[in-house]
């Protein structure tokens, strides 16, 4: 994932965390097409929050923390 997105190597920890997170939410044939997390918790998972690793994100800065001419 790091090489595909042309990210620096210091992001390997975040990439490995993302891989494990996704693998725990992918159905597996040995578990009768249930996810490992679903088998462990007994709750059907919602994966609508997943995005492509390295996709652009946006975050909201509350109005009281914004400054008129500040770049961020």
Per-residue pLDDT at 12 exceeds 80 = yes
Maximal CA-CA distance, the chain: 56
Residue 52: the pLDDT is 80
Confidence of residue 72 (pLDDT cuts 50, 70, 90): low
Report residue 35 as tokens.
Answer: 């996810």
Please give the pLDDT value at position 10. Answer: 86
Domain boundaries, the chain: 9-65
The answer to whether residues 14 and 7 touch, using CB atoms and an 8 Å cutoff, is no
Q: What gap in Å lies between CA 24 and CA 53, rounded to an integer?
A: 16
Position 7 confidence tier, pLDDT thresholds 50, 70, 90:
confident
Pairwise CA distance, residues 19 & 14, whole Å: 9
pLDDT digits (tens, 9 = 90+) for 13-38: 888 888 888 888 888 899 888 888 88
Cβ of 4: how many Cβ atoms within 10 Å?
A: 9
Paired tokens of 47? 């994966």
């Amino acid at each position: 994932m790091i090489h595909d997105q042309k990210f620096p190597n210091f992001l390997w920890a975040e990439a490995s965390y993302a891989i494990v997170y996704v693998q725990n939410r992918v159905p597996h044939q040995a578990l009768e097409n249930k996810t490992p997390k679903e088998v462990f918790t007994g709750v059907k998972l919602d994966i609508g929050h997943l995005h492509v690793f390295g996709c652009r994100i946006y975050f909201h800065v509350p109005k009281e923390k914004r400054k008129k001419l500040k770049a961020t």
